[in-house]
Amino acid sequence: MRTAKDLYQTPPTIYQCELDTCPQCQQPLREAHYVTGRKTVQTMTQVITIGYRPKVCVNAECPGPAVAWPSATWQQLAAKGCTYGYDVIARIGWERQKGRERFESIQAHVAPWVAISESHVRNLYHFRYLPLVACHERQHLAELQQISQATGLLLGLDGLMPVGGEPQLWVVRELRTGWTLRSGWLDRQDEAAFVEFLQPIADLDLRVTALMSDKQTALGPAVASVFPHAKHGLCQVHYFKNAAEPVADADEALKKTLRQAVRSDLKAVLRPPSPEHTGVLTVTGLLPSPVEAPESAAPPSDKTARPARPALRPRPPPSGTTLSKMSCNGCATF
């Protein structure tokens, strides 16, 4: 059963297509007689109901497909098939990428303005924000070609550690600009797979000056095949890590041998023999272990103990005497 949303329809705002001529045949467009694209959109500031009136080409012989051109303003408010504004998607992506927030925390941050669940926050990040980022980076292709012609590209190629035989994620980034050129899942890491993954970069006639990666067995021949004139360097972090592994193993073996020698020579000093016990180490509860003996009476003194003096009974007051005037052998006056 779906949870009902506490959202109310507002008076719809209908947008008109801004085009006057057909982008395919340059003939005039006429306004359609219907309204489509009606939906309720949540933004960070308001909840609105929107729609648009499309336009169609009057040319019956238009070479392009018969499409109804939508409104650009309508498209800029929310993605197609999505009821959350672009500002909500950007807020989720910003907190996830820059703030490294968990989806649960992001949902708590946007909940005062937007009715959204944690699962929907995760869905918007993976299926809305990341594709938008990829489309944004594709707009830098012309600038990337200029950098390639001027100085050449410096590429970094790395992959995440696979888990349980799953496909491995590999990413190619331009190191000076930080742009992601390619990313994809590789179900095997052989020379043919790396060549197929890197070849689209070479097909764009992008000049690669140098490339840095790990020391994969099949990656070296693949890089030499796709980028024969580029210098291939290995990651210094991985290099020093691999160089330090034998030293770390030898240091661990030395510490183990030293501990064994110290324990054998100083065992009696470090661990004195413990008293014999019955096997019960610790007991807790109303009677914890060890049980403390109750405090014994004070030891009698050397003098002969005198018998306790019997308590004195108060004498009955004489007739006619009030309690306030009576005293009893040292007792307090009533």
Cα dihedral 14/20/25/26 (nearest 10): -170
At 198-239, the pLDDT tens digits run: 999 999 888 999 999 988 889 999 999 999 999 998 877 777
Kindly tell me the number of DSSP H helices and DSSP E strands found in the chain: 10, 10
CB-based contact 231:211 (threshold 8 Å)? yes
pLDDT at 79 over 60: yes
Query: Which residue bears the tokens 């994620």?
Result: 169
The pLDDT value recorded for residue 9 is 66
What does the angle CA 311 – CA 313 – CA 318 come to, to the nearest 5 degrees?
A: 160
Q: How many other C-beta atoms can be found within 10 angstroms of the C-beta atom of residue 194?
A: 25
Enter the pTM of the model: 0.59
The pLDDT value recorded for residue 261 is 86
Q: Is the dihedral of CA 330, 331, 332, 333 positive or negative?
A: negative
The residues pairing with 233 across neighbouring beta strands, listed in sequence order, are 212
HEC secondary structure over 89-132: HHHHHHHHHCCCCCHHHHHHHHCCCCCCCHHHHHHHHHHHHHHH
Backbone angles phi, psi at 267, to 5 degrees: -65, -40
The pLDDT value recorded for residue 326 is 43
Cα gap 45→294, rounded to integer Å:
73
Where along the chain do its domains lie? Answer: 1-77, 84-139, 141-237
Share of the chain above pLDDT 70, in %: 80
CB-based contact 282:289 (threshold 8 Å)? yes
Q: Which H or E run includes 161?
A: none
pLDDT at 310 over 50: yes
Give the CATH number of domain 141-237.
3.30.420.10
What is the average pLDDT across 147-154? 92
What is the average pLDDT across 139-166? 87
pLDDT at 74 over 60: yes
